Amino acid sequence: MSLQERGYSVLVVSASQRFRDTLAGFLPDAVYTPVLAASVSAAERETAQRTFDFLFVNCPLPDDDGVRFAMDSCQTGSTVAVLFVSADLYDQVQARAAAHGVYTLPKPIPRGAMLRALSWMTATRERLRSAEKKTRPIEEKMEEIRLVNRAKWLLISQRKMTEPDAHRYITRQAMDRCIAKRAVAEEIIRQYT
């Protein structure tokens, strides 16, 4: 799937209607789905309901400067954020935000620079998406190991098996029935809890 075919969810946080309209003009509807918020509290309500691929914050906002919100939003690992700050505050905000993976751009920003920034954000989001795909199977395997270990301890305590016997029992059940060890472990857990 090409990047032009993929869709991205976008949260635009700005007190300025003009900024929201201008930014929306950079985001074609076929690729980007923007949600608009006028304050940090409104943006927090939106992020509580769903995650966003991109976050654009026009600083300052009526209830906060928005920097902490952008940094916190990037902690999940899946959101790519950019702060728009006045040129005189750029160095100070950029030094704070860069350590948290937040891009910072000085205002006003030329159209070409905005398009390049959007391109960089898209590339970063795709890299994060790739990393998520690699991490998910590892997390699933760790969860399976936890379930199997819990089932083994139940067999040890309830059936007085040794640890190697409990392990062999789960493995044998999975092989004989052609199911995953996780399924056997879940059955054991349901049976004894």
The span from the CA of 141 to the CA of 136, in Å, is 9
The pTM of this model reads 0.64
CATH number of 137-192: 1.10.10.10
DSSP character for 52? -
Residue 103: strand pairing partners: 82
* Superfamily covering domain 8-109: Response regulator (3.40.50.2300)
What local confidence, expressed as pLDDT, does residue 163 receive? 92
In angstroms, rounded to a whole number, what is the distance separating the alpha carbons of residues 57 and 182? 44
SS3 content of the chain, % helix, strand, coil (to 5): 60, 15, 25
Task: Label residue 105 exposed, middle or buried (CB < 10 Å: 0-12, 13-18, 19+).
Answer: middle
Q: List the structure tokens of 72.
A: 């916190």
pLDDT, averaged per 10 consecutive residues of the chain (193 residues), comes to 65 89 79 86 90 89 89 81 91 90 87 80 77 74 91 93 93 91 93 88
Tokens of 165: 């016997």
Q: How many CB atoms lie within 10 A of CB 22?
A: 16
Q: Which residues pair with 82 in a beta bridge?
A: 56, 103
Q: Do domains 8-109 and 137-192 have the same CATH topology?
A: no
Token pair recorded at residue 166? 């409990």
Domain ranges of the chain: 8-109, 137-192
Q: What are phi and psi of 83, to 5 degrees?
A: -105, 135
pLDDT at 2: 47
In this prediction, residue 77 carries a pLDDT of 65
